[in-house]
A = this chain, B = another copy of it.
Amino acid sequence: MSKTIPYKIYLEESELPKQWYNVRADMKNKPAPLLNPATMQPMTVEELSDVFCTELAKQELDDQTAYIDIPQEILDFYKMYRPAPLVRAYCLEKALGTPAKIYYKFEGNNTSGSHKLNSAIAQAYYAKQQGLKGVTTETGAGQWGTALSMACAYLGLDCQVYMVKCSYEQKPFRREVMRTYGANVTPSPSETTEIGRKILEEFPGTSGSLGCAISEAVEAAQKQEGYRYVLGSVLTQVLLHQSIIGLEAMAACDKYDIKPDIIIGCAGGGSNLGGLISPFMGRKLRGEADYEFIAVEPASCPSLTRGKYVYDFCDTGKVCPLAKMYTLGSGFIPSASHAGGLRYHGMSSVVSQLYDDGLMSARSVEQTSVFAAAQQFARVEGILPAPESSHAIRVAIDEAMKCKETGEEKTILFGLTGTGYFDMMSYQKFNDGVMGDYIPTDDEIEKSLAKLPKVE
């Protein structure tokens, strides 16, 4: 007899995962190694340690250890906002009239507004352990910067955020949240770094870019004694920390005997998607269960569905290591899509390899249909979703409607990564009916891919 499923499943504190899960350990085809841009040879822990904390550099390269203990101080921090609930979308199911059962793992119940905090606290913790004074990072939409500010405030670590200038000006409230948590927020490009000054000289009045902000943050870390650079997505260490999402979701499913048929996540750099699916993918890789995984990306930045699986630079400034990944080319400039968190030219090497191995599928969706899904969801489920998260909602609704046609009672699980409180400018465009869609032409993508670095 199956238990009655409550609206929200909260694990007990004692049921919280105490280890992260490293899906690379169970992958037959491992993700390709990061390459040193100077030598084109695989990066070593020593080389990576110049930029990242040593412990994080080790995690980045470890593709053998399946389970890694979560330090007690991180577990204590997690308890402030975790467990995140696994929600049964009873109201959405009813509104759709679908026989499908829909669940979502909600990661928005913390001030950073997203799942980013899961990795921010881990990265800040290892920096603190290493005796560092502080960390530097860049932020675009601002969720990552906020999360890192929170983690650093908690640990008493200095936090320097380079915020893309147009965001800094257009999202003053995001900036104030970071300042409230004591972070030092600098609009990028700035006069505080060499690269910043150079860019300002060359392009006076530029509103900045993520690529430039990364370069400034890396330079700032390297120029200050006791500082390292940290990153909120793409890296395998980030996916490792984010596995907490999937582990909790799996524990909640197991507790109530819920067996998802389809697992859906939005995908930008892959931090949420990779974290959500990892433990389930582990079961699939070990032959213990089967699931259909769907990555959802914006049609305006379709790295999995229209990109190429090759080595590419992770940043536009080409200062970071090269990664083998599905990419549109590091020079690809996504249109001003409102899902800022999904505007990345490439995809995590772990997700890329799983996708290339046919272990998961991908789908791209257009912005206006994403906001239509967001609004529909908000009105019946109460939560106002972030534009990024709403990509997953779109496909979850599509799949549920297919079930309505076929009569199948599939169980759908999707990741609701965050809330949209700081995205109301985009909602306003949608509410006013002036939001557009943009899909790059084949020609644009080909031109960008033509400039890929040459790697043997």
Q: Is A6 an interface residue (CB 8 A)?
A: yes
Q: Are B154 and A379 in contact (CB under 8 A)?
A: yes
Please measure, in the bound complex, the distance between the C-alpha atom of A110 and the C-alpha atom of B7, giving whole angstroms: 14
Please measure, in the bound complex, the distance between the C-alpha atom of A113 and the C-alpha atom of B109, giving whole angstroms: 11
Q: Are B79 and A8 in contact (CB under 8 A)?
A: yes
A423 to chain B minimum Cβ distance, whole angstroms, is 9
Q: Are B181 and A111 in contact (CB under 8 A)?
A: no
Count of identical protomers in the assembly: 2
Candidate in A12, A382, A383 with the most chain B CB atoms within 10 angstroms: A382
Counting chain A residues whose Cβ lies within 8 A of the other chain, the interface size class is 35 or more
List residues of chain A with CB under 8 Å of any chain B CB.
Answer: 6-8, 10, 12-13, 76, 79-81, 90-91, 109-111, 113, 150, 153-154, 172-173, 176-177, 179-182, 375, 378-384, 419, 421-422, 424-425, 427-428, 431
Q: Are B421 and A80 in contact (CB under 8 A)?
A: no
Q: Are B7 and A384 in contact (CB under 8 A)?
A: no
Given contacts A79-B8, A421-B421, contact A379 B427 (CB under 8 A): no
Please measure, in the bound complex, the distance between the C-alpha atom of A90 and the C-alpha atom of B380, giving whole angstroms: 35
Given contacts A91-B154, A111-B378, A173-B424, contact A431 B179 (CB under 8 A): yes
Q: Are B422 and A421 in contact (CB under 8 A)?
A: yes
In the assembled complex, which residues on chain B have CB atoms less than 8 Å from the CB atom of A153?
A: 378-380
A202 to chain B minimum Cβ distance, whole angstroms, is 32
A422 to chain B minimum Cβ distance, whole angstroms, is 7
In the assembled complex, which residues on chain B have CB atoms less than 8 Å from the CB atom of A182?
A: 379
A138 to chain B minimum Cβ distance, whole angstroms, is 21
Please measure, in the bound complex, the distance between the C-alpha atom of A113 and the C-alpha atom of B382, giving whole angstroms: 11
In the assembled complex, which residues on chain B have CB atoms less than 8 Å from the CB atom of A81?
A: 382
Q: Are A111 and B13 in contact (CB under 8 A)?
A: no
In the assembled complex, which residues on chain B have CB atoms less than 8 Å from the CB atom of A425?
A: 173, 176
Please measure, in the bound complex, the distance between the C-alpha atom of A427 and the C-alpha atom of B111, giving whole angstroms: 14
Given contacts A91-B80, A180-B375, A375-B180, contact A111 B419 (CB under 8 A): yes
Q: Are A180 and B380 in contact (CB under 8 A)?
A: no
In the assembled complex, which residues on chain B have CB atoms less than 8 Å from the CB atom of A375?
A: 180
A288 to chain B minimum Cβ distance, whole angstroms, is 30
Given contact pairs A177-B427, A421-B422, enumerate 9 new A-B contacts (beta carbons under 8 Å).
A6-B12, A7-B79, A10-B10, A111-B378, A150-B382, A153-B379, A176-B431, A180-B427, A182-B379
Q: Are B80 and A381 in contact (CB under 8 A)?
A: yes
Given contacts A79-B7, A111-B419, contact A384 B177 (CB under 8 A): yes
**Residue in chain B with minimal CB distance to A380:** B154
